[in-house]
Amino acid sequence: MGAAFKETKLPADAPKSQKALAWIDDRFPLTKLWNDQWGKYYAPKNFNVWYIFGSLAMLILVLQIVTGIFLTMHYKPDAALAFGSVEYIMREVPWGWLVRYMHSTGASMFFIVVYLHMTRALLYGSYRKPRELIWLFGFATFLCLMAEAFFGYLLPWGQMSYWGAQVIVNLFSAIPVIGPDLSLWIRGDYVVSDATLNRFFAFHVIAIPLVLLGLVAAHLIALHEVGSNNPDGIEVKENVGPDGHGVDMIPSHPYYTTKDLFGVSVFLFIYSAVIFFAPEMGGYFLEYNNFIPADSMKTPPHIAPTWYFTPFYSVLRATTSDFMWVVMAGVAAYVVFIWLRSRLSYKTKVAITAIAVVLEIGMLFLDAKVWGVVLFGSSVVILALLPWLDHSPVKSIRYRPSWHKYVYIVFGICFVALGYLGTQLPTPAYTLIAQACTLIYFSFFLLMPWWSASGRFKPVPNRVTFTPH
């Protein structure tokens, strides 16, 4: 037998809004959900500006869903009509140009905010124990965003949409054995065609958003289960006060609600300025070739993906036949380094050596294009391993040796450089710079177990450092 239904009793003169909320709470835990997830969720009191990007990402997600719904009302996923329908939205639908620019600008803003959100995690060790699962859910969300952007990239059916999709899908054909069949399945045809447009539309509008919403929910639930990290990297839940909450914790509402609203105001100002004054952002947010209808008989002089993919795309382009000799030497040197400096067990070292030997043989016999795709994928996937690569005794960069900051700065410069080089023609000089940046990019992660634990670390305080302002 289930428990008897109990209805909340309120005074007869209680406001109607309070009665309505009580009626809902008796049947659905609306107030409980609000309190658990935000209203009475206690967070460290020393959050700084770096902690605003999670809320901004949620805001942009809502904006993208709402504007996407309005765009689908007029968009036609047909190769003969798609480009014209976008032009119709821009020129004939009332405020259609605004909705389209909000959506296109929102895509780039989404990645800017997410990259900054990930940077904060890197600086303050937000992926460290016990938050490994939060990081993995966040990484899966990042992959979903990349897929969502890729599928949406084809929909305008402009020159860069068409040829960009052609190049990216053809990458999968380089995978041994399954590559050709996989690229054929993704396209739905032997070339990018109407079938490709239809399936990309289905993935972009229905499949990926559902997965994305589930991952965002899992990310937030996992975060609120173990608690938020803070700039000092201290577990504030371990120092509990008389009220049962950490002495260095405050309710998210109203304290962080007000700060988030200020951050949202600044973001919306920048977002609006881009929409109204520079929606193409010099060809980075909307490429000029995409205002030309797709033509399968005319290839643009320079094909490159949108800017948020270019750091990883540069890794792909940097992988030439000559560069593979450098990679082989690097793999050999890394194995020697592990044998000399690693505290791993003998069996683990032997296993790593065996894997390295297989890779070296593969590099001798497989085309550089194949390894370009491998490095392209690895440059993304390696981010998921951060919780197990970082062996620093402290979480926050505040208490790490000063030279660690320069390691992060060099890594950041290389990442931005790879992003810029991916938008440019691959000249010999640019290719050489991209190859150097690729080596630094992978070295940052593969050598992290050693450099992250090296140097003199500052003592971590027992309480968070906080200055009211």
Cβ–Cβ under 8 Å, residues 129 and 387: yes
3-class secondary-structure state, position 251? strand
Same domain for 42 and 173? yes
Nearest in space to 271 (alpha carbons), one of 111, 109, 149: 109
CB 448 within 8 A of CB 391: yes
377 and 430, same domain (yes or no): yes
Give φ, ψ of 308 to 5 degrees.
-75, -10
**Residue 250 main-chain phi, psi, to 5 deg:** -135, 155
Q: In this structure, are residues 422 and 372 in contact, taking their beta carbons and an 8 Å threshold?
A: no
376 and 408: one domain?
Answer: yes
Residue 34 lies in a domain: yes
The one-letter amino acid code at 209 reads P
Q: Is residue 263 part of a domain?
A: yes
Contact 200, 14 (CB under 8 A): no
Residue with tokens 């085309």: 367
User: Are residues 270 and 371 both part of a single domain?
Assistant: no
Is residue 272 located within the same domain as residue 321?
no
239, 313: one domain: no
Residues 308 and 406 in one domain: yes
For residue 224, count other CB atoms closer than 10 A to its CB.
Answer: 17
Q: Which of these three, 302, 331, 356, is where a domain ends?
A: 302
Give me the CATH number covering residue 195: 1.20.810.10
What is the model's pLDDT at position 79?
92
Please say whether the dihedral angle defined by the alpha carbons of residues 259, 262, 263 and 264, taken in this order, is positive or negative: positive
| The residue count for the chain | 469
- 224 and 114 share one domain: yes
Q: Helices in 94-234 by DSSP H: which ranges?
A: 96-124, 132-154, 159-171, 179-187, 194-202, 208-226
Residue 9 lies in a domain: no
DSSP secondary structure letter of residue 427: -
> pLDDT value at position 245?
82
Question: Would you say residue 468 lies in a domain?
Answer: no
User: pLDDT (tens digit, 0 to 9) for every residue of the chain, 469 residues total?
Assistant: 556 777 888 888 888 888 888 889 888 888 888 888 888 889 999 899 999 999 999 999 999 999 999 999 999 999 999 999 999 999 999 999 999 999 999 999 999 999 999 999 999 999 999 999 999 999 999 999 999 999 999 999 999 999 988 888 888 887 878 888 989 988 888 888 899 999 999 999 999 999 999 999 999 999 988 999 999 999 888 888 888 888 888 999 898 999 999 999 999 999 999 999 999 999 899 988 899 999 888 888 888 888 999 999 999 999 999 999 999 999 999 999 999 888 888 888 899 999 999 988 888 888 888 899 999 999 999 999 999 999 999 999 999 999 999 999 999 999 999 999 999 988 999 999 999 999 999 999 999 999 999 999 999 998 888 766 5
- 51 and 122 in one domain? yes
Same domain, 279 and 329: no
How many structural domains comprise the chain?
2
Q: Residue 420 falls within a domain, yes or no?
A: yes
Domain-terminating residue out of 271, 302, 333:
302
Is 2 contained in some domain?
Answer: no
User: Which DSSP symbol is given to 44?
Assistant: E
Write the DSSP string, 380-406.
HHGGGGHHHH---SSSSGGGS-HHHHH
Alpha carbon separation from 299 to 81, 107, 179, 221, 289 (Å, rounded): 21, 25, 24, 47, 11
Residue 301 token pair = 């002089």
Whether 177 and 234 share a structural domain:
yes
Q: Which residues contact 426 (CB under 8 A, 6 or more apart)?
A: 317, 434
- Separation of CA 215 from chain center: 12
Whether residue 12 lies inside any domain: the answer is: no
- For the record, the structure tokens of 452 come out as 């992250």
Residue at a domain's end among 272, 302, 332: 302
| pLDDT attached to residue 468 | 63
* Residue-range definition of the domain harbouring residue 364: 304-457
53 falls within a domain: yes
Find the helix packing angle between 252-277 and 96-124, rounded to 10°.
Answer: 130
Same domain, 172 and 29: yes
Q: What CA–CA distance (Å, rounded) separates 299 from 118?
A: 36
pTM, two decimals, is: 0.93
